[in-house]
A and B are shown apart, each in its own frame.
Chain A
Amino acid sequence: MNKILELRMIVPNMHLIKIEAPDIAKKVKPGQFVIVRPDEEGERIPLSVADWDQESGSITIIFIEVGASTSRLASLKPDDYVATCVGPLGNATQIKYYGTVMCVAGCYGIGSIYPVTKALKGEGNRIITVFEARSSYLIYWLDRFVGLSEKIFTITRDGSSGYKGHVKRLPDILHGLTQLPDIIIVNGCTYLMAQTSDVTKGFNIPTIVNLNPIMIDGTGMCGVCRVTVGGKMKFACVDGPEFNGHEVDWKEFLARRKAYMEEETLFFRRSEPKPKLHKEGKCQG
């Protein structure tokens, strides 16, 4: 049982939760995750850690509401308790001097890449940050990255900020740089990580992704998080979550991510009135 110190929606559908977890705050490193179970009936959800404070013994997580369990987590209140918060799990990002590092983030990944960026900056790396979102209003924590980044680029689907389109516009950004980055680190949805890896392969820039598969125990016991990397079977929870994006079998990974799509959204279908009015995209009312 861990106490919730703060819980609020920071941009639509994206929540910030601060949890009391002194043991984890003492140990966690950039790139690691925890497993949270919102309540006694809840599923075990792996969530990347976005910030922590050893003094107050707390960790901060940014999560997106996608299914039954994240929806239940979002519905809790400060001073409530989550049934489980265990970690830190997975391996940490390799923090060292690379030269120029490009941090590409979207969705909850903007949160999780923040400690990575901060630590890399601390090692003297030049940081270039790229945010990708559907629209400008979905980008958060921009202020936190300003001091860390030499340059910040944005790509939005609707063109409301920076480049219009999605991460396939990354070559436009790369071509505009005087010097290509030595390494690219990507945090965010599977699509963003897969597409970025696809783009950077052409530029021959090493690309590290932080995978987010379905997990249960998070300690290597169940094997549901297995992923093929460089033709070998890996468990994201203990061998990862970071892998070389150019070696990940993305097609397989995407299929495995979606394995329980139907069951996960059952919750929403059951908790809302039947959507009779919008059949086939037309108003039937």
Chain B
Amino acid sequence: MSEEKIEKTSKIDLDRTEMPKQPPEIRRHNFNEVALGYTEELAIKEAKRCLQCKKPRCKTGCPVEIDIPDFIACIVKGDFSAGIKKIKEKNCLPAVCGRVCPQETQCESKCILANKKGEIAIGRLERFLADWEAAQGKIDMPKKAKPTGKKVAVVGSGPAGITVAGDLILLGHEVTIFEALHRPGGVLTYGIPEFRLPKAIVAREVEYIKMLGVNVITDFVVGKTRSVDELLEEFDAVFIGTGAGLPWFMNIPGENLNGVYSANEYLTRMNLMQGYRFPASSTPVRKHTRVAVIGGGNVAMDAARTALRMGASEVRIIYRRSHAELPARLEESENAEEEGVIFNMLTLPVRYIGDENGWIKEIECIKMELGEPDASGRRRPIEIPNSNFIIPTDAVVCAIGNSPNPLVPSTTPGLETTRHGTLVADPETGKTTRDRVWAGGDIVTGAATVILAMGAGRKAARSIHEYLMGK
């Protein structure tokens, strides 16, 4: 459908239906979800804007190829039950993806109305259906294939692992997930905060795959409690989805001062260990008045907004490039800004300065300017000589990225890694360099998104199934 044709059609509505949100001045003081979701009326209103293109481009932007126009058509008809079924044919975590997928660079960016800045709010509609289903209190269980007698071990219960497990259990295989932490969900549980992805939703999705028959074992560190080789003695296939869990630091003086956290530590304390309920929960949390978060991605936004909710009065994002290069989703950086997070752009920390008790008190920073584009295509930040200045702070959260956790690769002979520490795996099948071992998600790609991990999980599940049935 050409743009010209759209112009001629009289009834095109370019007005995206806004999703109700908690007002910034209220939400910055609580951990409840920021976005409140569409009502039935709002969902139908938004769904009606969809042009139902003959050749839907939105679908091509979805890593798991959800039949987007079809589920939107169901919403228009008010048949929500059929709508959620349609989504679940391709996506076992719609409530999660509707919330945390970067739709603006995927399905929604491909929408024909995106040219007019009026793309359909696909993510909000997906979320609406998932929440609608949960509110009904009964979940339609899909049909499972006859038991095949094959056993699959899934290492890690994040988005990749849950997808693999969900797909393979429906195909009749016996599936066991091994999770190192005490609560399943991986990054959905330890990383993404309550106000963006309520933990009850993650628990619901995990409960769903358990109901399908997946055995979920927590407190089990593959590589330590048992090795991959030992798992291969009991299981016909092993999938590794252990994520990117090794935090990077900047290697600057003072990084080991108290009050300097990795984003993983800060968020794990708050989310997994429920630190925001301290002292009712027992993992200790320090009250900080001024918090500086280093980095410009979604994790940095999560940490900054968590700090606000923990009562900090001055929270800033320190990022070495400019606003335009922020890797965070626009929605997230806007939310942060609305809530009062200060953005110190074109700024790089060079040194942390501590007090006499070993606690951080100041950050020495240097101003940056943008030069020529670098390998990533973004303009390279360059230090401006003699522009050093001091930012006083009580805490620093370093959110500059993670590399893959080496626990499994280092204890599994024959499992090849790249020089970045990621596992070598076929992008189409997830097959690793070890027989009967597949991998997917951040452990293969390095830190990426929930939906990409799910896409990799889906491909690996297909390949594992083919292998198991061909045997």
Contacts and interface: CB of A to CB of B under 8 A. Distances in A.
B225 A238 contact: no
Nearest to A69: B282
A106 B358 CA distance: 26
A146 interface: no
Interface string B405-417: 1110000000000
Given A87-B225, A238-B406, A219 B180 contact: yes
B77 interface: no
Interface stretch (B79-87, B161-169, B205-213, B242-250): B242-250
Interface string B201-245: 000000000000000001111001110000000000000000001
B221 A87 contact: yes
A55 to B, nearest CB: 18
A124 to B, nearest CB: 29
Nearest to A72: B282
Interface in A230-285: 233, 238, 249, 251-252, 255-256, 259-260, 263-264, 266-267, 270
Given A23-B220, A263-B286, A264-B284, A223 B279 contact: no
A84 B282 contact: no
A181 B195 CA distance: 57
Contacts of B182: 37, 44, 83-84, 86
B29 interface: no
Contacts of A260: 284, 286
A217 B181 contact: yes
B268 A86 contact: no
A264 to B, nearest CB: 6
Contact of A267 (B220, B265, B282, B357): B282
A255 B246 contact: no
Contacts of B218: 84
A223 B262 contact: yes
A259 B260 CA distance: 11
Contacts of B284: 43, 260, 263-264, 266
A45 to B, nearest CB: 10
Interface residues of A, number: 43
Interface string B273-296: 110001111111110000000000
B157 to A, nearest CB: 14
Contacts, number: 121
B256 A228 contact: yes
A263 B284 CA distance: 6
B269 A216 contact: yes
A89 interface: yes
B245 A220 contact: yes
Contact-size category for B: 35 or more
A222 B268 contact: yes
A68 B405 CA distance: 30
Contacts of A43: 273, 282-284
Which applies to chain A's interface (DSSP): helix, strand, loop or mixed?
Answer: mixed
Given A86-B180, A221-B246, A222-B247, A266 B265 contact: no
A243 B221 CA distance: 23
Residue from A72, A228, A238 having most chain B Cβ neighbours under 10 A: A238
Contacts of A24: 225
A86 B279 contact: no
B258 A88 contact: no
Contacts of B226: 23, 27
A220 B282 contact: no
A126 interface: no
Contact of B262 (A222, A259, A264): A222
A41 interface: yes
A222 B265 contact: yes
B267 to A, nearest CB: 9
A138 interface: no
Contacts of A68: 279, 282
B264 interface: yes
Contacts of A226: 249, 256
A42 interface: yes
B261 interface: yes
B225 A23 contact: yes
B256 A252 contact: yes
Nearest to A255: B358
Given A23-B225, A88-B224, A224-B261, A219 B405 contact: yes
B265 A216 contact: yes
A267 to B, nearest CB: 7
Given A86-B220, A238-B406, A256-B258, A221 B279 contact: no
B358 A219 contact: no
B46 interface: no
B119 interface: no
Residue from A222, A226, A233, A270 having most chain B Cβ neighbours under 10 A: A222
A85 interface: yes
Given A41-B280, A86-B225, A263-B285, A255 B245 contact: no
B255 interface: yes
Contacts of B283: 43-44, 216
Contacts of A27: 224-226
Contacts of B286: 259-260, 263
A94 B143 CA distance: 53
A233 B245 contact: no
B265 A219 contact: no
Interface in B287-337: none
Nearest to B354: A255
Interface of B: 180-182, 190, 218-221, 224-226, 245-247, 249, 251, 255-259, 261-262, 264-265, 268-269, 272-274, 278-286, 357-358, 405-407
Given A222-B262, A255-B358, A264-B284, 20 more contacts: A27-B226, A37-B182, A41-B274, A44-B182, A44-B273, A86-B180, A87-B225, A216-B269, A219-B224, A219-B407, A220-B406, A222-B247, A222-B269, A223-B249, A238-B407, A251-B358, A252-B358, A255-B357, A260-B286, A263-B284
18 contacts: A23-B220, A24-B225, A27-B226, A41-B282, A84-B219, A86-B180, A88-B224, A89-B221, A216-B265, A219-B245, A222-B268, A223-B249, A224-B262, A224-B265, A259-B258, A259-B259, A260-B286, A270-B279
4 closest A-B pairs by beta carbon, nearest first, are A255-B358, A263-B284, A222-B265, A221-B245
Interface of A: 23-24, 27, 37, 41-44, 68-69, 72, 83-89, 216-217, 219-224, 226-228, 233, 238, 249, 251-252, 255-256, 259-260, 263-264, 266-267, 270
